[in-house]
Amino acid sequence: MTNTANANSPLLETLEIGDLKLKNRMIMAPLTRNRAGDGNVPQDINKLYYTQRATAGLIISEASQISPYAQGYPSTPGIHSTSQVAGWQAITKSVHNQGGLMFIQLWHVGRISHPSLLPNNAQPVAPSAIQPKGEAVTYDGMQAFVTPHALTTDEIQDIIADYVSAAKNANAAGFDGIEIHAANGYLIDEFLRDGSNTRTDDYGGSLENRMRLLDEVITAVKEVWPPSRIGVRLSPENQFNDIRDSQPQTTFTAVVGMLNKHDLAYLHVLEGDMLGSERKVDYAELRKSFTGFYMANNGYTKTTAEESLNSGNADMIAFGQLFLANPDLVERFAQNSDLNEPDQSTFYGGDEKGYTDYPALQQDKISA
């Protein structure tokens, strides 16, 4: 059923970020779907999935590992091999042919991995040798996380080099920009938060030191991409993956202050806790402290998204499950139409079911 059109929604306004013009402020959030092919290579089904959603103002790809040692889940795509670059090239070309824009999210999972997922059964790495609670998702089912190897300073430099290589590959693959994943308990987030970083060297202890890895990664990839094509994702109080910080408001206000000097395309913030704990961070204050474009994420509806834009608390809204289940979410919002319900049983792994078969309002579906 289609109700009265709502073409005046702030979600449908354009936004210019550097030399990129977003056709609306509805962003497709990065969504891990575990459907990469052999060698963690993006495949045709992934191309169709993203092409169907090219009406988003910007697509942020699912998190993609920067090296074979950065992987934490089965069948997640990488951006470190020639075949992976070729797989992504087909996707970005198809999205561009539909008038879309696409950034890739660069990912190192840190300790949220398992030796069985890594070359030569390598140990996962982290700022400190602290075993996270919980279990890793492996090809052989759920297995307990292991105690990670605490990175040496030389090894940290190798990982920064991996980010640069991945950034170059992202350029070759035809992406419009990159997003550095510094959220949700993965490697960079592990350095930022004092619950997982107990180092006593230049990468631990003080806030300045805990921010150093993120700062150095951004500085390094700015040699490949202009800052107006680089975004960063943070999650100040998300406890997913057994991550926490004793003073998240203080910590992430400092992180935002550091990010300001880089003149980034945007700051992408997962607001609150995916596990449902009460919010303790004032995100409006965090937004005010950031001098660039702010992208809000986590459970937004059309109504709450419009309220956030109208109040100035965000410049863009990232939608996850809503885009997952509604490839034409932009049109549905514009027409105030009913939404498809996401099928959680098909979120991770599988085939086209719950991936490319969600119906559109117009049944002449896009073919990539």
Question: How far is Cα 62 from Cα 80, in angstroms, rounded to an integer?
Answer: 15
Contact 339/303 with Cβ under 8 angstroms?
Answer: no
Helix (H, G, I), strand (E, B) or coil at 91: helix
Q: At what angle do helices 82-97 and 44-52 cross, to 10 degrees?
A: 30
Strand 135-138 versus strand 141-144 pairing type? antiparallel
CB neighbour burial string for 233-260, b if at least 16 within 10 angstroms, e if fewer:
bbbbbbbbbbbebeebbebbbbbbeebe
The runs of H, that is alpha helices, within 114-180 are 153-172
Helix (H, G, I), strand (E, B) or coil at 365: coil
What is the phi/psi pair of residue 204, to 5°? -150, 170
Q: At what angle do helices 248-260 and 212-221 cross, to 10 degrees?
A: 20
Residue type, 139: Y
Question: How far is Cα 59 from Cα 112, in angstroms, rounded to an integer?
Answer: 25
Contact 45/354 with Cβ under 8 angstroms?
Answer: no
Q: Is 272 left (phi over 0), alpha (psi -120 to 50) or beta?
A: left
Question: How far is Cα 333 from Cα 341, in angstroms, rounded to an integer?
Answer: 15
Q: Which two tokens stand for residue 297?
A: 């994420």
Residues with a catalytic annotation lie at: 186
Bridge partners of residue 22, in order along the sequence: 15
